[in-house]
């Protein structure tokens, strides 16, 4: 496989502009002759489908939800970055670019990150135009707040519901196109296969989740905007249905999978309670603006928080990182929390938690200010734990939250399969080894509103298409394959539920491929995952019928894919003999316990190529060149 | 904690449906209502029986997927929460809990506790937006929005589209849902230009979908997981009247 990133020539600040000029255009009258399939209608998918529809293409949009408004983008809380410099604190496109490359621990592609920073301002304009009710000051102008990994205030927010408001904005734009007839929306459809014709992505196989019917659809190009794969870990902050099936099946059809081991562990989540728990709940990073993180100075201190005097508390982030304090990037904050708990300073019933304390902010700003900024988060915490965070500190612990890895894409967001584009969290592109807070919403919308509308046109205008129909052989074969797979799953009739398999996989992943990784643990995972997968295909128990609504069958297919993806994730983590961002190999750290990169050997994107289930994938490398941001040891001291 | 459950089971749209009784034991008081159903479902699958189908996804009260009528109330006891946020500690040990789907003509039951709420999407598609094309908008801070208007718009915009208001209303009215969107956009300067057309089209679609009218019961506000106020219905009515007058 040859990787061509197609980064345009020229100085970085001119690349996107000159590329836009050089790209071919589709004549307005010809646009409706092209069909585009968009899978997933979260932030990236909905914004892409709406924008492509506005341009006049014939768009077919699919979601396994009943409505685009249910996508998990809706749960993003804290905000979205843009270097508007409204705070007059020295922000610029260059600074956002620099912060993002550095925050990603020098494992992202410079040209993509620069473009992301460049278009991010237009996203805010777009969202305001749609009526997104961002927070404002008393003069009626937009308000900003700070986020981890940055020393400027560039985060726009709508209370603690920014993702909801941005998704509803994209959903409204999409709804408008559905009404106009340029987009046809297919609810409750799950994509199960990409159909290739002469090597080009020309369609998909879907299952209608209400009737169980297997359907095929043809188009000129396919866009995957199906989110990340954090649910490989079972317990994560993802929605229950979030899955990797679309990108995984594309990988098995020849799309390279890049940097699967780059997973993000979010530092501020509500700690796990018991075995019944079905997911973990995030508490927005924005809380670190006004909350102070601490543990008792004494190991195994079981006193209540309010009984531990000030001088016996260790505000360890403020102590270790005086310049960034509680606002260090996520990977650093998570690792330090784990370290504190591992050393015996953890608090709460499980000792797997640290305090996030608002007492001082409430005293300084007044309860009403804290309520206005974080009210819904405080309520959520109260509901889940039955403890009132206005009265005592929250207990928090890191949890799997986001995946920086994903399908490899070039500068045009096209995968290694011609005609298969990948947007948002589903691709690998912009965050390197660690994503900064408030950058996921930014990337999803940048891809959907301001990148794909141009690059898709270029692909369509410069590609020859042979006419295809859904009764052509490649479609019929792909459909047959999926029907066979479903039949096989339904016929195993073993003893263990899908839920049990998923939990077991999650435990292997968290224990061995989680926050701290080492050779022995990764090798153990690489033995245990295939064993569990083998057992799954002999012993999984499904009930109900395949031609009916069947949640167990839906999950079985997704877990089957996680059982393969988990192996690739561990394999990638084992191969990357360095620590960078969210990938922390315990063998590689500085004296101060920070991640130690090995730029000589690992300054590349690892793009894996499928060779068969359980077989060693082929490693393809895209070397990373840093011409503008010189890689250095990341320091937040 | 132990519970007796009476759960609505219905094979598909055409099936008549019925309550079926189950028992669950040893449930942690900290478990959510949906986690309690997860535990029941694993037991059912182990016995070779079909699990209870219910919609759910984010499990943190924001996606609007889940929604059950529990002991006669939309999203169960408690205020300002969705079903997924409801914890078992709020029930009595040994209590019998009744769970059924949203009941409304415009929300046909697909299976067990899952209903089809796409009628709400069709109302939005009829006009619940500002027609701003990608790229064709002014610089963000060139539009000033008075803080009180922005805050009130945000209160309305926090609607999660779960349909609890419809299920709670004796007339199966979707007025609170429609009002939330109309109000959110009418309060903002960007939304003023299309305000008349918007309200007329959304109300027309609402009627077409078979939702009832508001008779000031306020059950919608009481059961709304985002505590959206009925004052937005008053604004919807004013907007509608203004648009009718021309």
Q: Give me the catalytic one of A330, A335, A336, A435.
A: A330
Q: What is the pLDDT of residue A276?
A: 87
List of chain B residues whose C-beta atoms are within 8 Å of the C-beta of residue A163: 62
Residue spans of chain A under pLDDT 50: none
Instruction: Return the DSSP state at A595.
Output: B
In chain B, DSSP finds a helix count (H) and a strand count (E) of 8, 7
A167 touches chain B (CB under 8 A): no
- This model of the complex carries an ipTM of 0.98
Shortest distance between the Cα of A123 and any Cα of chain B, in A, equals 9
**φ, ψ (nearest 5 deg) of residue A438:** 70, 15
Structure token digits, residue A57: 């293409």
Say yes or no: A281 and A397 in one domain: yes
Domain boundary among A401, A432, A463: A401
Q: Is A166 exposed, middle or buried (0-12, 13-18, 19+ CB in 10 A)?
A: buried
Is residue A304 part of the annotated active site? The answer reads: no
Facing residue for A66 by CB, picked from B44, B60, B117: B117
For B36, list phi and psi in degrees, rounded to 5.
-65, -40
Q: What angle do CA A143, A147, A152 make, to 5 degrees?
A: 70
Domain count, chain A: 2
CA distances in angstroms from A460 to A27, A39, A455, A542, A620, listed in the order given: 11, 18, 9, 42, 27
Question: What pLDDT score does A374 carry?
Answer: 87
Does the beta-carbon distance from A276 to B28 stay under 8 Å? yes
Question: In chain A, what residues touch B44 (CB-CB under 8 Å)?
Answer: 543
Does a structural domain hold residue B139? no
User: How many whole angstroms separate alpha carbon A382 and alpha carbon A387?
Assistant: 5
**What average pLDDT does chain B have?**
97
pTM for the full model? 0.97
What is the rounded CA–CA span in Å between residue A400 and residue A519? 20
CA-closest candidate to residue A479, choices A287, A281, A204, A258: A204
CATH of the domain at A510: 1.20.58.100
Task: Tell me whether residue A585 is in a domain.
Answer: yes
pLDDT digits (tens, 9 = 90+) for B95-115: 999 999 999 999 999 999 999
Domain presence at residue A281: yes
Shared domain check, B122 and B106? no
Determine, yes or no, domain membership for B161.
Answer: yes
Strand partners, A224: A39, A422
Count of domains observed in chain B: 2
Task: State how far the Cα of B92 lies from the Cα of B214, in Å rounded to an integer.
Answer: 34
- Same domain flag for A477 and A386: no
Write down the pLDDT at residue A373.
84
Q: Does A173 reach chain B within 8 Å, measured CB to CB?
A: yes
Instruction: Output the pLDDT for position A560.
Output: 98
Q: What is the pLDDT of residue A285?
A: 84
Q: Residue A50 and residue B28: Cβ atoms within 8 Å?
A: no
Contacts of B129 in chain A (CB under 8 A): 130-131, 172-173, 175-176
The answer on pLDDT for B246 being more than 80 is no
Q: How many residues does chain B have?
A: 246
At which of A401, A422, A440 does a domain end?
A401
Q: What is the pLDDT of residues A278-320, one digit of tens each?
A: 999 998 888 999 999 999 999 999 999 999 999 999 999 999 9
Range of the domain at A502: 473-597
pLDDT at A612: 98
Q: Quick check: is A145 in a domain? A: no
Question: Residue A566: which residues within 8 A CB-CB, separation 6 or more?
Answer: A232, A505, A508, A509, A513, A525, A529
Counted across chains A and B, CB pairs separated by less than 8 A come out at 226
Give the closest-approach CA distance of B102 to chain A in angstroms: 15
CA distance B86 to chain A (A): 8
Within a domain: B137: no
pLDDT value of residue B29: 94
Mutate to test the interface with B, among A230, A551, A555 (most CBs of B within 10 A): A551
The whole-angstrom distance between B48's CA and the closest CA on chain A is 6
**Yes or no, beta carbons of A133 and B157 under 8 Å apart:** yes
CB contact under 8 A, A380 and B60: yes
C-alpha A54/C-alpha A106 separation (Å) is 36
Scanning A185-262, the segments in alpha helix (DSSP H) are 245-252
Q: Among all chains, which residue has been given the structure tokens 């064709």?
A: B136
Closest C-alpha to A280, from A386, A380, A159, A167: A380
Contact B87 A137 (CB under 8 A): no
Q: Pairing state of beta strands A58-62 and A35-39?
A: parallel
Owning domain of residue B211 = 118-131+144-245
């Amino acid at each position: 496989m040859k990787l061509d990133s197609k980064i345009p020539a020229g100085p970085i600040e001119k690349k996107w502009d000159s590329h836009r000029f050089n790209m071919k255009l589709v004549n307005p009258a010809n646009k409706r002759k092209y069909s585009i399939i968009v899978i997933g209608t979260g932030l990236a998918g909905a914004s892409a489908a709406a924008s492509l529809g506005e341009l006049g293409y014939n768009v077919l949009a699919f979601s396994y939800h009943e409505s685009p408004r249910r996508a998990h983008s809706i749960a993003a809380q804290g905000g979205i970055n843009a270097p508007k410099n409204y705070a007059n604190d020295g922000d610029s496109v260059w600074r956002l670019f620099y912060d993002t490359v550095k925050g990603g621990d020098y494992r992202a592609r410079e040209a993509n990150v620069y473009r992301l920073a460049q278009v991010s301002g237009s996203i805010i304009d777009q969202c305001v135009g749609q009526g997104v009710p961002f927070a404002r000051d008393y003069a009626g102008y937009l308000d900003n707040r700070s986020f981890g990994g940055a020393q400027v205030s560039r985060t726009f927010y709508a209370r603690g519901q920014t993702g909801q408001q941005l998704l509803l904005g994209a959903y409204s734009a999409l709804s408008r196109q559905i009404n106009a007839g340029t987009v046809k929306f297919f609810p409750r459809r799950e994509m199960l296969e990409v159909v290739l014709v002469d090597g080009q992505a020309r369609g998909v196989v879907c299952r209608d989740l209400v009737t169980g019917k297997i359907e095929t659809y043809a188009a000129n190009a396919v866009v995957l905007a199906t989110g990340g794969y954090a649910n490989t870990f079972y317990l994560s902050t993802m929605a229950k249905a979030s899955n990797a099936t679309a990108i995984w099946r594309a990988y098995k059809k020849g799309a390279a999978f890049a940097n699967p081991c780059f997973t993000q562990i979010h530092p501020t989540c509500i700690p796990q309670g018991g075995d019944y728990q079905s997911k973990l709940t995030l508490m927005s990073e924005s809380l670190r603006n006004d909350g102070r993180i601490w543990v008792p100075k004494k190991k195994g201190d079981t006193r209540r928080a309010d009984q531990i005097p000030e001088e016996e508390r260790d505000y360890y982030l403020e102590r270790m990182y005086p310049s960034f304090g509680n606002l260090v990037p996520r990977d650093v904050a998570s690792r330090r929390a784990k370290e504190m708990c591992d050393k015996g300073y953890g608090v709460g019933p499980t000792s797997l938690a640290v305090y996030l304390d608002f007492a001082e902010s409430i005293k300084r700003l007044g309860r009403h200010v804290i309520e206005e900024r974080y009210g819904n988060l405080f309520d959520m915490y109260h509901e889940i734990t039955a403890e009132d965070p206005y009265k005592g500190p929250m207990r928090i612990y890191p949890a799997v939250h986001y995946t920086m890895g994903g399908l490899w894409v070039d500068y045009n967001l096209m995968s290694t399969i011609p005609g298969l584009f990948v947007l948002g969290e589903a691709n690998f592109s912009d965050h390197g080894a660690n994503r900064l807070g408030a950058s996921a919403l930014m990337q999803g919308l940048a891809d959907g509103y301001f990148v794909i509308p141009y690059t898709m046109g270029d692909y369509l205008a410069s590609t020859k298409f042979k006419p295809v129909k859904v009764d052509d052989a490649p479609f019929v074969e792909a459909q047959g394959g999926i029907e066979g797979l479903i039949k096989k799953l339904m016929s195993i009739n073993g003893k263990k539920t899908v839920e049990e398999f998923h939990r077991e996989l999650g435990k292997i992943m968290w224990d061995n491929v989680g926050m701290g990784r080492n050779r022995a643990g990764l090798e153990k995972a690489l033995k245990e995952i295939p064993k569990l997968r083998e057992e799954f295909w002999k012993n999984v128990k499904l009930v109900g019928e395949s031609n009916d609504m069947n949640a167990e069958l839906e999950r079985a297919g997704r877990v089957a894919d996680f059982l393969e993806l988990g192996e690739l994730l561990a394999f990638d983590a084992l191969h990357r003999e360095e620590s960078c961002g969210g990938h922390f190999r315990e063998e590689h750290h500085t004296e101060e316990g920070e991640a130690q990169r090995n730029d000589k050997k690992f300054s590349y994107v690892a793009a894996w190529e499928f060779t068969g289930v359980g077989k060693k994938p082929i490693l393809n490398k895209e070397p990373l060149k840093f011409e503008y941001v010189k890689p250095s040891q990341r320091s937040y001291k | 904690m132990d519970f007796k459950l009476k759960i609505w089971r219905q094979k598909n749209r055409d099936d008549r449906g019925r309550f079926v009784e189950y028992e669950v034991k040893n449930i942690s008081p900290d478990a959510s209502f949906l986690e309690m159903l997860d535990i029941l479902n694993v037991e059912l699958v182990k016995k070779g029986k079909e699990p209870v189908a219910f919609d759910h996804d984010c499990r943190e009260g924001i996606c609007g997927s889940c929604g059950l009528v529990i002991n006669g109330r939309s999203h169960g006891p408690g205020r300002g929460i969705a079903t997924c946020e409801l914890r078992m500690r709020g029930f009595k040990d040994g209590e019998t809990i009744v769970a059924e789907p949203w009941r409304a003509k415009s929300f046909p039951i697909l299976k067990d506790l899952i209903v089809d709420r796409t009628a709400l999407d069709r109302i939005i598609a009829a006009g619940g937006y500002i027609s701003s094309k990608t790229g064709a908008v002014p610089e963000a801070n060139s539009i000033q929005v008075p803080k009180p208007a922005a805050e009130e718009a945000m209160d309305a915009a926090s609607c999660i589209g779960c349909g609890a208001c419809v299920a709670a209303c004796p007339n199966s009215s979707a007025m609170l849902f429609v009002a939330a969107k109309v109000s959110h956009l009418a309060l903002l300067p960007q939304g003023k230009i299309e305000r008349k057309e918007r309200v007329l089209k959304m109300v027309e679609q609402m009627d077409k979908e078979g939702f009832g009218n508001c008779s000031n019961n306020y059950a919608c506000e009481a059961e709304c997981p985002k505590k959206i106020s009925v004052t937005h219905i008053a604004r919807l009515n004013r907007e509608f009247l203004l648009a009718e007058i021309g």
